[in-house]
Amino acid sequence: MANLTQEEWKQQLANDANAIILDVRTDEEVAEGIIPNAIQIDIYKGQGFIYKLEELDKTKNYYVYCRSGARSGQACAIMNQLGFDNAYNLVGGILEWKEDLVTN
């Protein structure tokens, strides 16, 4: 797992053709706005979260975020344990995100 600053995260993501953005917040949080093209898997779903992760392609690079960076850090650690080699945590989470968000 790598902790990336907002700038590092954006820069690395922009140059990564193998990237998937993963939002680990709750449905209520996601309703307030999500980073474009992100997929959501709520980390609070417990074993359900693990099952959803297991369905993902482990060869991809995952850019993971939450509200503040704590849950996404936990998610990256779990992903590493499950065999994901490239999980990048957004330090500061969406609270420090300066770019546009989309709402569903």
**Which residue, among 68, 61, 52, 50, has the nearest Cα to 19 in the 3D structure?**
61
The verdict on whether 66 is a catalytic residue reads yes
Which residue of the set 66, 75, 76, 90 is catalytic? 66
3-state secondary structure of 62: strand
Give the bridge partners for 88, in sequence order: 2, 63
C-alpha distance from residue 63 to each of 60, 96, 101 (Å): 10, 15, 16
Q: Rounded CA gap, 88 and 9, in Å?
A: 8
Give the active site residues: 66
